[in-house]
Amino acid sequence: VSATGRTPADVLVDGETIAAVLAPGSTLLGFDLAAHVDRVIDATGKYVIPGGVDAHTHMELPFGGTAASDTFETGTRAAAWGGTTTIVDFAVQRAGERVMDGLAAWHDKAAGQCAVDYAFHQIVGGVDDDSLKAMEGLVAEGVTSYKLFMAYPGVFYADDAQIVRAMQKAADLGLLTMMHAENGPAIDVLAAQLVERGKTDPYFHGIARAWQLEEEATHRAIMLADLTNAPLYVVHVSAKQAVQQLAWARDNGKNVFGETCPQYLYLSLEEQLGAPGFEGAKWVCSTPLRSRAEGHQDHMWQALRTNDLQMVSTDHCPFCMKGQKELGLSDFRAIPNGIGSVEHRMDLMYQGVVTGEITLERWVELTSTTPARMFGLYGRKGVIAPGADADVVVYDPAGHTSIGVGEGRTHHMNMDHSAWEGFEVDGHVDVVLSRGTVVVDDAGYHGRAGHGRYLKRDLSQYLV
Ligand code: URP
Ligand code: ZN
Ligand code: ZN
């Protein structure tokens, strides 16, 4: 299955790459292939797809006085289990720090640890003369996209003046601007008012982060990008009104793109409200879960069908309950933001095929092919074709996956809970190859830390 169609085929892997895609039972130079290869993986009745590309992860991200609980080792192992064979993680620069130091620190964390291939975006958490100058060196490092935050004042943040300066620089360099589009200063006012009134439960995280503040920030980002001729990619879109802004911009010829995440398709603010005690903390993420009654989830699925949203990433940013999420027991503002899903994205999105929300081809496009094209990896990743890396997943539509931390459930992330506990998927990741090496099959996990390589990325294919 590719982004454009499906056909019965034999896939011939030679070393780390795809050598050929052949009609079933083909001979090559007169040889019966099956008799002359080291290993035959029988995929009869199953789908063979390019390995998943998760373009939004945060392994070991320092946040809220703690750090995301998956290391590059545990996080990429979990990714492999779930059929994701490439991650693009975010190197971090904060205000006052040097961008290239942040990038070097991320290389140190990841080198020799990854089970699958990895690449980096750069968070520019503080825009100033030094960080703008340093952006000039990113493309040569294979980092062709960077992220700004309109949220999180005092942590990672860019005001309008800083956004304009960064976008001008990015437009000159061919860097893709990724935007966390929420109005952080306004959110902080609402959050403080809620806490003053004793509204400290996890649910109020989502109340403070109102959809109006995502819509407003998305519109502002679009207009600043238009002004500066900077292509724009809005991350973790959850509000239908933000999607409408993106759709309007695209209809008017602006070069803007949006991703959503499985949590904004399946989970809701109402469920968070109904969770007992502090349980709702497992769903504290930003942007927040939205109200099902307001129709945000249905709108996200629709936007994936109509291409108003182009990709699904996880924003994998895991924190344990114990010692991490619990930091916000008496004040939701202190709950570290993030959900862990790197292992489940391919399954959760396949469930959208089962329920008729998206087609099989769109599943591949949203989870592998477009991420590869958007972030300068296409050709090596995102496609099964001669010369591409042999990142291949055999997916069994007759299989079943029970997600969660309990016995018999699938969970290899370094978390003491799952935001997806109890989710059942009619499908199963059967076999996973990373650059020609079988890392997962029915005998279990065969990957190793250090197999995964750093990928220097080309410029986005979506720049015009
Ligand atoms: O809740 C989230 N999304 N945590 C990770 C940081 C970010 O904003 O992407
Ligand atoms: Zn963000
Ligand atoms: Zn993120």
Complex prediction ipTM: 0.98
Tell me the pTM.
0.98
> HEC states along 197-239?
CCCCCCHHHHHHCCHHHHHHHHHHHHHHHHHHCCCEEECCCCC
| Alpha carbon of 56 to ligand 3 centroid (Å) | 6
Predicted confidence at residue 33, as pLDDT, reads 81
The DSSP H or E segment spanning 187 is helix 184-196
Is any ligand 1 atom within 6 A of the Cβ of residue 286? yes
- Is residue 292 within 8 Å of residue 239, measured between CB atoms? no
Q: From CA 84, how far away is CA 108, in angstroms rounded?
A: 22
From ligand 1's centre to the CA of 62, what distance in Å? Answer: 11
Ligand 1: does its nearest atom lie under 6 Å from the Cβ of 314?
Answer: no
Q: Which residue among 58, 124, 289 is best mutated to probe the pocket of ligand 1, counting the most ligand atoms within 8 A of its Cβ?
A: 58
pLDDT of residue 464: 80
pLDDT of residue 34 exceeding 90:
no
**What is the C-alpha separation between 226 and 230, in angstroms, rounded?**
7
- pLDDT number for residue 237: 99
Residue 175 has pLDDT above 80, yes or no: yes
pLDDT surpasses 80 at 28: no
The yes-or-no verdict on residue 408 having pLDDT over 90 is no
Q: Over range 4-8, report the average pLDDT.
A: 97
Q: Which of 65, 130, 60 is nearest to 100 (CA)?
A: 130
User: Average pLDDT of the chain?
Assistant: 97
Spatial distance between the Cα atoms of 146 and 143, rounded to a whole number of angstroms: 8
Do 386 and 461 touch, CB atoms closer than 8 A?
no
Residue 107 predicted with pLDDT over 90: yes
> From the CB of 285, is ligand 1 less than 6 Å away?
yes
Q: Determine the distance separating the centroid of ligand 2 and the alpha carbon of 235, expressed in angstroms.
A: 7
